[in-house]
Amino acid sequence: MAKHYYIKRAGRISGPFSGSDVKTGVKTGRLLEQDLFSRSKDGPWRTLEGVFKKIRAKQTEYLLKTCPVCGISLVSESKVCHGCRSNPDSPAPV
C-alpha cells in the first residue's frame, strides 16, 4: 500500500496526499515549512521542515555537479550538459 499523508495548517486537516503530492507542494510553494504533516489524522504531527531540508539538499547536490568536459555547473536533472551537449555519465570515446 502506498504511503499517504495528512497536512494540517491553522488547525485544518487536508488530505490524504501521496508522498509525491507532498513533494510537489513543497517545490511549488503550496506547502510551507511550518505546515504539519502526519501519517494519520490523529497525529503525531511534525513540521515539513525536514522535508524542505531534504529537497533543498538534493537541489544543492545538482548545483554542485559540474560537467567534466567544459566545467560548467549542471543546473538541471538533465543528463546532457547544456553547455557542450556531452553526457557526463557516458563520455564520448576519445
Least distance CB 57 / Zn ion (angstroms): 24
> How far apart (Å, rounded) are the C-alpha atoms in residues 10 and 8?
7
Beta strand ranges found along 10-57 (DSSP E): 12-18, 36-38, 46-47
Cross-strand partners of 46: 37
C-beta closer to Zn ion: residue 34 or 87: 87
C-beta closer to Zn ion: residue 14 or 84: 84
Least distance CB 70 / Zn ion (angstroms): 3
Least distance CB 81 / Zn ion (angstroms): 3
What residues line the site for Zn ion (CB under 5 A)?
67, 69-70, 81, 83-84
Q: Which phi and psi (to 5°) does residue 7 adopt? A: -115, 135
C-beta closer to Zn ion: residue 63 or 70: 70
C-beta of residue 77 within 8 angstroms of C-beta of residue 87? no
